[in-house]
Amino acid sequence: MAISLVAYIREFARWEWARKFLAARTAPLVIPPYFRNYPELTGKTCTHHLFCMMACPAPGAIDVIRTPEGWQPRIHIGHCIRCGLCVEACPNGVLSSGRILESMFRDNTRLSFSFKIDVDLDKCMGCGNCAVACPVNKLIDAQMSHGGRASTDDLLLKLSDGKCRVLHVEKCTGCKTCEHHCPNEAISVARLLEAVHAPEEVP
Amino acid sequence: MTFLQKVKNFVRSRSIHVAYVDVGSCNGCDIEVLACLSPRYDIEQYGIFVHNNPREADILLVIGAYTPGWEEKLRGLWEKIPPPKAAIAIGNCPISGCLFARPHTLVDPPVAKHIPIAAQVPGCPPRPTEILSAILSVAPAIFADYEVKTK
């Protein structure tokens, strides 16, 4: 009894024990390497496809700016939600975050984009701003008249019978210029993201 | 610096009472603040105590994108906190409104327009590690030598 009491006191009177008892902390708080943090530049060349901006769900989180070295995506901390969609959407692997690029390479997956243009004919008043503003239209028919009327049917958007018609939706690049130029919020562009496995062709 | 001031600095850096207020978020950041209390991060080993009473708090964690229901309320809540005090914005919402800052929404970010914000922790949501290190780095900087600074 007495011996065990002495052993007990001796054990707990040690300086190391007291220091550990009073100043113990959990392991240093570090962010693990696999954490999907803010995207960082890998140094590969950006080709200005803007898929990162299209995939981004947070307003104002990413933009692509022109620097003396070329185009460069820029992440805005405070807006970015660290979802990693820009990393997955980039066809060139300009951005990297956590292990997204590694797992995409291992699983052979890719995000594919398609676009759907929806025109609310009740709201459309036929001003033709969308068709004139559309950069795809501008490439096909640079001579497009002010009201959005044109002779060719190869266009993405065209005005006929006083309403906006979508002719070739597969030509859409998803820039949403028409949506921004519509005074009546009649036209809306949906960007459909699809994760595809083992794609045959690289966009 | 007097001995009393040194004692005050020591105590204040090891006893931080925290109140949190959610001014309209998705609850993601609330869950991360809750995770700080869990054994893995264990906010109380640093002397931080989540008390949730502004009258006894030193630090206010503001979460959310400031919905109209908080007009006139958040300011009053901030004034209830006795000085020295600091407010920390947790997450993207109080900084920029995050996903809620779109046309035709009623939110009014940033929260810094309404109460003075001492630090911002970006992220949607931020890691508990980031919340903890923000509190631990802001609190001593603001509370140290408070009586000397305000004299």
Q: How far apart are the first and last CA of chain A?
A: 81
The domain of B55 spans 13-143
Q: Looking at A29-156, which runs of residues are DSSP E strands?
A: 40-41, 62-67, 70-75, 95-96, 109-119
Q: Sort A189 into a burial class: Cβ within 10 Å, 0-12 / 13-18 / 19+.
A: buried
A154 and A100 assigned to the same domain: no
Token pair in block for residue B106: 């009623």
Query: Are B96 and A31 in contact (CB < 8 Å)?
Result: no
Q: From the list B95, B99, B132, which residue is nearest A29 (CB)?
A: B132
Tell me the β-bridge partners of B90: B63, B121
| Mean pLDDT computed over B77-91 | 91
Cβ-count burial of A83 within 10 angstroms (0-12 exposed, 13-18 middle, 19+ buried)?
middle
The boundaries of the domain holding residue A163 are 116-190
Residue A48, domain member (yes or no): yes
Average pLDDT, chain B: 88
Q: How many CB atoms lie within 10 A of CB B128?
A: 21
SS3 letters for A174-193? CCCHHHHHCCCCCEEEEEEE
CB contact under 8 A, B123 and A82: yes
Subunit contact A29:B133, Cβ cutoff 8 A: yes
Confidence at residue B30, expressed as pLDDT on a 0 to 100 scale: 92
Final residue in a domain of this structure, among A79, A107, A135: A107
Domain CATH code at residue A67: 3.30.70.3270
**Per-residue pLDDT, A90:** 87
Q: Under an 8 Å CB criterion, which residues of A touch B?
A: 24-26, 29-31, 35, 57-60, 77-82
Is A101 within the bounds of a domain?
A: yes
Statement to judge: residues A130 and A86 lie in one domain? no
Average pLDDT of B89-94? 92
Asked whether residue B99 is assigned to any structural domain, the reply reads yes
Q: What is the pLDDT of residue B76?
A: 92
For residue A129, CA distances in Å to A145, A183, A191, B123 come to 11, 8, 21, 38
**A82/B99 Cβ within 8 A:** no
pLDDT tens-digit readout, B109-146: 888 899 999 999 998 889 998 898 898 888 888 888 88
The answer as to whether B149 is a domain residue is: no
Beta-carbon separation of B124 and A58 below 8 A: yes
Which residue in A20, A26, A182 has the most chain B C-beta atoms within 10 A of its own C-beta, making it the best mutation to test that interface? A26
Same domain, A137 and A173: yes
- Same domain as A67, residue A90: yes
Q: Return the structure tokens found at A155.
A: 């266009």
CATH of residue B46:
3.40.50.12280
Residue A189 pairs in a beta bridge with A117
Residue B105 located in a structural domain = yes
pLDDT level of residue B21 (50, 70, 90 thresholds): very high
Q: What is the pLDDT of residues B94-108, one digit of tens each?
A: 999 888 888 888 888
Judgement on whether residues A150 and A127 belong to the same structural domain of the protein: yes
pLDDT per position as a tens digit, A105-160: 888 888 888 888 888 888 888 888 888 888 888 888 877 777 767 777 788 888 88
Q: For residue A19, tell me if it sits in a domain.
A: no
- Position B83 in a domain: yes
Q: Write out the DSSP string of B72-112.
A: THHHHHHHHSPSS-EEEEESSHHHH-GGG-STT------GG
Domain harbouring A182, CATH code = 3.30.70.20
- Same domain? For A54 and A103 the reply is yes
Cα gap A169→A171, rounded to integer Å: 5
> Does a structural domain hold residue A11?
no
Q: How many domains does chain A have?
A: 2
- Residue A9 within any structural domain of the chain: no
In this prediction, residue B61 has a pLDDT band, given cuts at 50, 70 and 90, of very high
Which of A55, A86, A107 is the last residue before a domain boundary? A107
Residue pair B94/B64 in contact (Cβ under 8 Å)? The answer is yes
B129/A60 touch (CB, cutoff 8 Å), yes or no:
no
The list of chain A residues with pLDDT below 50 reads 203
Rounded to whole angstroms, how far apart are CA atoms A173 and A203? Answer: 12
Of the candidates A83, A107, A131, which is a domain's last residue?
A: A107
Residues A142 and A168 in one domain: yes
Residues of B in contact with A24 (CB under 8 A): 45
The answer to the question of residue A54 being in a domain is yes
Find the CB nearest A78 among B46, B96, B99: B96
Asked if A60 and B96 come within 8 Å (Cβ–Cβ), the reply is yes
Chain B residues in contact with A78 by the CB 8 A cut-off are 92, 95-96, 120, 122
Query: Strand A157-160 vs strand A163-166: parallel, antiparallel, or unpaired?
Result: antiparallel
Residue among A99, A32, A41 nearest B127 (CA): A32
Position A22 scores a pLDDT of 76
Assigned domain for B150 exists: no
Q: Indicate the number of domains in chain B.
A: 1
Question: B1-25 burial string, b = 16+ CB within 10 Å, else e?
Answer: eeeeeeebbeebbeebbbbbbbbbb
The DSSP call for residue A46 is: P
Query: Are A171 and A136 found together in one domain?
Result: yes
CB atoms within 10 A of CB A23: 8
| pLDDT of amino acid B46 | 85
**Does residue A75 sit in helix, strand or coil?**
strand
User: Considering the domain boundaries, does residue B1 fall inside one?
Assistant: no
Report helix, strand or coil for B142. Answer: helix
